[in-house]
Structure 1
Amino acid sequence: MSKSIFRELLDKEASPALGCTEPMMFALAGAITRKHATGTVKRVDMVGCGLMVTGVQAVGIPKTGGKTGAFLSAAVGIINGDADACKEVLNNIRPEDVAAAEELVKNAEFTLDMDNSTGKQVYFKLTLTTDEHVATVIFEDEHHTWTYLEVDNKVLVDNRKPASEMLIPADDVDWNEFTIEKIYNWCKTADISELGRAKEAVAMNTVLAKDGIENPRGIQTARVLMQNVESGFVAGDEITHILIWATAGADARMGGSDYPAMVSTASGNQGAMVVMGPWASAEYRKCSEEEGYRAVAFALLVNTYLKYLSREYVYMPPTCSCAATSAPAAAAGVAFIHGLNPKQINDMLCTSMIHMAGVVCDGAKPSCAFRMFTSLFGCLEAMMMAEKGIRASNVEGFVHDDIKVTVENLYRLQHDVLHNKVDAILWDIVKEQKVIH
């Protein structure tokens, strides 16, 4: 694989986004349909796959002061969302827009339900009905990719594909070239100009992480840890420094921060962790900026590598990617800073992946940051073990000597056991608890 292909993967799977992907998508759908359906809003009907409709319930919506919910997410998009800004659809939302959106939720009829029948891991449909028009938009495969648009029974766009043709980026990758060792070598030797996206990611995610440290966002995982360092209860060592900065961005995002994140494989939480974990290590060890950017690029590409091996679950798996892939990838970036070689990093990744094997995704929420903290701590221990030649062996559960086969084994768990089951149970729980909003 040439340098240009690594650069393409780095640029493709790391991009800016404002807010958690679920409320962003609901708002974007609202903004798109509103462009085609003027008049007084009467109804907003939404259906989506399980993790879409559950994940939107608990995370803060940017520019709303931390308010939550599917109905308000769609409503702010309808009121003043910028459909052309895509993943930054909420950039222009003002306090008066939030107030207007809350009134809209009160005065119009909003509905939300789950639909897992499409076979798509990412699926969302919103129909906006006004006194003048009816507009429907459908998103598939990616949170920002709308494939269908219908206005007043006239189809304007239809790029839908059957589930058998769903987006699987892994099919476009040469796996003989896209390996941990070759990622490592490229990040070590590439001209620094090739790593511009890593530099952008550090700048963007540092601001986001500071918001999570300095303000009571989300579940405050990083902020509480920092406060306990200051009180003397927790040591202010490198591991603590890494844990604080790697989880603070998730605290901020899940709490509705107004600052964007550089995402990794469609997830801002993953981007926050894989960028800030190695960068915090480099900062603590007083490495040069170039060393830090190379480690960040490595972590981003390792996260892409691990996620692509999840095939159709690359952007929305039934297992927790923050715990099972981004924490190992972030620790791989730290290992890069510490001078571990590709073999040691392979071993560390195998131990790390099995550490959180089978942990399911129960939707985006503030406590994601706490799960990320727990997983990253374990992955850093796996790094220290690998440095000593210690790792989980191939007689232990899903583990194989090679990280690629280990992840493929875990894919079988997702496909054969968890697919369409976890999110269906979650949606039943959400309905039972009467918290749909």
Structure 2
Amino acid sequence: MKKTEQNYQHYVGILKEELIPAGGCTEPVAIAYVAATARKVLGVMPERMDVFASGNLIKNAMGVYIPNGGNLRGVGAAAVLGVVGGNADRKLEVLLDMPTGKVIEARKLLEQNFCAVSVLEHSEALHLIVRVQAGADWVEVELKNAHTHIVRIEKNGAVVFCCDDEEMVRDGLTDHKCLNIAQIVDFADTCDIGDVEEVLDRQISCNLRIAEEGLKNDWGVNVGKLYYRNGKLLQAYAASASDARMGGCDLPVVIVCGSGNQGATASLPVILYAREKGLSHERLLRALVLSNLIVIHLKRGIGRLSAYCGVVCAATGSGCALTYLDGGTLHQIEQTITNSLGTASGVICDGAKPSCAAKIALCLESAIMAHQLAMEGQAFQSGEGIVMDSVEKTIDAVGCMASKGMYATDCVILNLMTKEKE
């Protein structure tokens, strides 16, 4: 792909937009970011706050520990932490400088029912409104479709900031419709690696660091350590990063598609595999280009949050990168996708929590098998379940199943989770 082509610039832009660091699970952190923004615009400490969140946002904030949050979990806790000590200017690293005293303050406010949480019915999967009030003054901040995409800020009824209709729908990011598997492989092969080297090197360093933390210390149920003892390093490193992240570790992860678990899964197995093979740094970077862009492409039809576990897509991206590193052809990369999606697409998302590490290991087992089958020229055929007669049609089929077919599943999962909490 030539630099002068429009899609070349789109692909570079997509990688730079997507591969950003986040301190902690992105759903509670996004809530904290919006709450911190509301407090900043209000100018004083609120006397009360109301949070209106989509079901998927609630689901993904309910069971995961908040970084620097003193083992607090949940939507209300994330919002209150953002208000009392969050730095809105740091966006998805909003809570990384949280003083211990602010955590104590947040606990007291939660006990005093300072924050009310309600479900936004019939809204986008990623949708949040935070309203803060002090005396007669109030501020309302609304976020939609992406974890840092604030679309509206109002103060005392006056609009401080508002996206236009097109920007509100587009989520502020480069349109992903330009992506397809053939061009992704071409771009990975031919791009000037200097155009994306900085974001990829950051992905390598950040994600390796939290994986090593997960292997070193006690986080979650220590899925990564189990796989490490069994000699399965690709699964071990990705799972250990999730162990730490879901357990509240404050080390940043470079995310993809708004998810740290997906960012770790799309990158760490590729890094470990390239090292095992003794491959060059440039070859590793090109494989990471491939993995990340394939994940982003697979997620386009699914959405950032759904009942379909996004780690299936992230593991598929990793599997494709293994095929790429082994000298696989475009056809074999397509077969890897077919094999992986045809096997693991039944894994549900029931929120961010420690068991995500186990789902990462599970999906990587499937993706590695998909890669190995493809290298032997073996693949599932059209008409076998959700496998269609081309890889792009199979990707579209999975997107349709996840976004439309699993909508009711999503509602049932959220209902079960909220009832259990009651």
TM-score normalized by structure 2? Answer: 0.92
Q: How far apart in 2 are the matches of 1:350 and 1:383?
A: 10
Letter of the 2:275 partner, please give it: E
TM-score normalized by structure 1? Answer: 0.89
Q: How far apart in 2 are the matches of 1:108 and 1:65?
A: 18
The change in CA–CA distance for 1:354 and 1:126 in structure 2 (over 3 A counts) is same
Residue matched to 2:52: 47
Aligned Cα root-mean-square deviation (Å): 2.2
Q: Secondary structure of 1:397's match?
A: coil
What is the deviation of 1:167?
Answer: 4.3
What is the deviation of 1:426?
Answer: 2.8
Aligned 8 A contact 1:350 1:401 in 2: no
Aligned 8 A contact 2:151 2:168 in 1: no
Letter of the 2:287 partner, please give it: A
Letter of the 2:40 partner, please give it: K
Residue matched to 2:289: 297
Identical counterparts, % of pairs: 24
Q: How far apart in 2 are the matches of 1:416 and 1:391?
A: 26
What is the deviation of 1:360?
Answer: 2.5
Q: How far apart in 1 are the matches of 2:364 and 2:127?
A: 30
Aligned 8 A contact 2:149 2:172 in 1: no
Q: How far apart in 1 are the matches of 2:225 and 2:24?
A: 19
Residue matched to 1:345: 333
Q: How far apart in 2 are the matches of 1:360 and 1:286?
A: 36
Q: Secondary structure of 1:264's match?
A: coil
- Alignment of 1:413 onto 2:397: no
Within the candidate set 210, 222, 225, 1:223 is matched to 225
Letter of the 1:152 partner, please give it: N
What is the deviation of 1:41?
Answer: 3.6
Letter of the 1:173 partner, please give it: K
Residue matched to 2:303: 314
- Alignment of 1:202 onto 2:190: no
Residue matched to 1:184: 185
What is the deviation of 1:255?
Answer: 0.9
Letter of the 1:193 partner, please give it: G
The change in CA–CA distance for 1:366 and 1:39 in structure 2 (over 3 A counts) is same
Residue matched to 2:419: 432
Q: How far apart in 1 are the matches of 2:364 and 2:224?
A: 13
CA deviations 1:69-91 (Å, max 9, x no partner) are 22221111111111111111112
Residue matched to 2:347: 359
CA deviations 1:58-112 (Å, max 9, x no partner) are 1111112443222221111111111111111112212111111111212243222
CA deviations 1:184-234 (Å, max 9, x no partner) are 2322233331331212210111111111111212232102222xx2xxxx2
Aligned 8 A contact 2:45 2:84 in 1: no
| Residue correspondence of structure 1 range 140-289 to structure 2 within 5 A | 140-159=144-163, 161=165, 165=169, 167=171, 173-174=177-178, 178-196=179-197, 197-226=199-228, 229=229, 234=230, 236=231, 240-289=232-281
Letter of the 2:131 partner, please give it: T
Q: Secondary structure of 1:150's match?
A: strand
Number of aligned pairs?
Answer: 416
What is the deviation of 1:131?
Answer: 3.4
Aligned 8 A contact 2:257 2:304 in 1: yes
Within the candidate set 319, 326, 337, 2:314 is matched to 326
Residue matched to 2:143: 139
